[in-house]
Amino acid sequence: MTLQPILPWWVMVPLIAATVLFLVWRLVQASRVQSAGTRRDWLFRSALVLLLLAAALRPGVPGGSSQAAAADVNVFFVVDTSSSIAAEDYGDGSPRLDGVRQDIMAIAGELAGPRFSLLTFDSNAIVRMPLTTDATALDASVSVLHPQVTAFSKGSSVTAAGTLLAERLRAARDSHPERACLVYYLGDGEQTSAKAPAAIRLAGGLVDGGAVLGYGTADGGRMKENTGQGSGQDAGAGYIQDRSSGTGKDALSVIDEGRLQGIAGQLGVPYVHRSAGDPVAPMMQAADPGDFQWAPADGGVAGRTELYWLLAAGVFLLALRETFLVLRQWRQLRPGAGVRT
């Protein structure tokens, strides 16, 4: 049996130790109470928490195969979600974000077996999704991506995610040094912060491949406002205005391929411009992973049978019991409960 925890071991071990100590303390406290029901309830709760922690360790046994293009790979998607990603110069007047979504899922579809992570940045950089093998979770996370709320936009840097990316890459390498790490940076290169973009500084060997994917045109495109009232751009919202010129015209966002090529150089990966209808193959071929060994296209690679779902099923059943107890107590606490008229 092997374990592939959802968090690094240096996080999981203290977490498990602290949880076990707390549960032991609660069980000791419950044993001093004369009520057998209290002791029984804490035994069930302890079992629920321990099963949840065990599921988080993702136990599995070797077996099966994966018809994969790659296995044991971490793939980090770094996505620009500043207002400029809403510029309508992708394909037939679609926002650039549409192309970003399509390309992320196209890349995921070309690979099988990797762990995917999604990072986004605008004024700030955040982890939208930690590393997971669940491509469905990636699809769900990508589908709800939207530009930053326009009112909150105070300027962004094209390298705002550099520090966060370096942290996540180091954590992935420390946790599983045998896995290659691919980085895909998706953006338009437009720098709206008054400060020059800080260089992305990564230790040698953290990035094994990937690509910087550029979106937009030299002519530029208008950007719909995101008022925050809906998901992404609101259908009835107006366009962001160019207030720097005082003309009241719609602002235009223009791709800066020079900056994107500079970011590609810092990451040590190629730059690829993406337009609507571009095939996936050239993008994947450009993302040369160097020394990383791809599995044969007509063969499989050693697979693994996941067992965490068995533990998760136990968690679900115990959670149903807890839910029933909470609802029963809530009914007893309602005003007028048990009072007959």
Q: What predicted TM-score, i.e. pTM, was given to this entire model?
A: 0.66
3-state SS assignment for residue 71: coil
Q: Please tell me whether residues 90 and 114 are part of one structural domain.
A: yes
* Residues 276, 215: Cα–Cα separation, whole Å: 9
Q: Please tell me whether residues 118 and 203 are part of one structural domain.
A: yes
Nearest to 297 by CA among 49, 105, 86, 66: 66
The answer to whether residue 188 is domain-embedded is yes
* CATH (domain of 264): 3.40.50.410
* Residues 313, 25: Cα–Cα separation, whole Å: 26
Tokens of 80: 């620009």
Residue at token pair 């971490």: 74
Q: Please tell me whether residues 58 and 194 are part of one structural domain.
A: no
Q: Please tell me whether residues 112 and 192 are part of one structural domain.
A: yes
Q: Please tell me whether residues 210 and 311 are part of one structural domain.
A: no
Tens of each residue's pLDDT in the chain, 341 residues: 777 787 777 888 889 999 999 988 888 887 776 567 777 888 888 888 898 889 888 888 765 544 444 457 899 999 999 999 999 999 889 999 999 999 999 999 888 778 999 999 998 999 999 999 888 999 999 999 999 888 877 778 999 999 999 999 999 999 988 888 999 999 999 998 888 889 998 888 899 989 999 999 999 999 998 887 765 555 557 888 877 666 678 889 999 999 999 999 999 999 999 999 998 877 787 665 544 444 443 444 445 677 888 888 888 888 888 888 888 778 777 665 555 54
Phi, psi of 29 (to 5 degrees): -60, -40
Q: Please tell me whether residues 232 and 205 are part of one structural domain.
A: yes
Tokens of 37: 């029901």
Q: Please tell me whether residues 215 and 309 are part of one structural domain.
A: no
Q: How far apart are the first and last CA of the chain?
A: 62
The answer to whether residue 338 is domain-embedded is no
Residue 66, pLDDT score: 44
Q: What angle do CA 68, 70, 74 make, to 5 degrees?
A: 135
* Residues 264, 325: Cα–Cα separation, whole Å: 56
Strand pairing of 301-306 and 59-66? Answer: antiparallel
Into how many domains does the chain fold?
Answer: 2
Structural domain range at position 324: 2-65+303-333
Q: Please tell me whether residues 92 and 169 are part of one structural domain.
A: yes
Concatenating the DSSP letter of every residue in 237-305 gives --BPB--SSSS-PBPEE---HHHHHHHHHHHT--EEE--TT--HHHHHHHS--TTPPPPPTTS-EEEEE
Q: Please tell me whether residues 20 and 146 are part of one structural domain.
A: no
Q: Using CB atoms within 10 Å of the CB of residue 118, give its burial: 0 to 12 exposed, 13 to 18 middle, 19+ buried.
A: buried
The answer to whether residue 249 is domain-embedded is yes
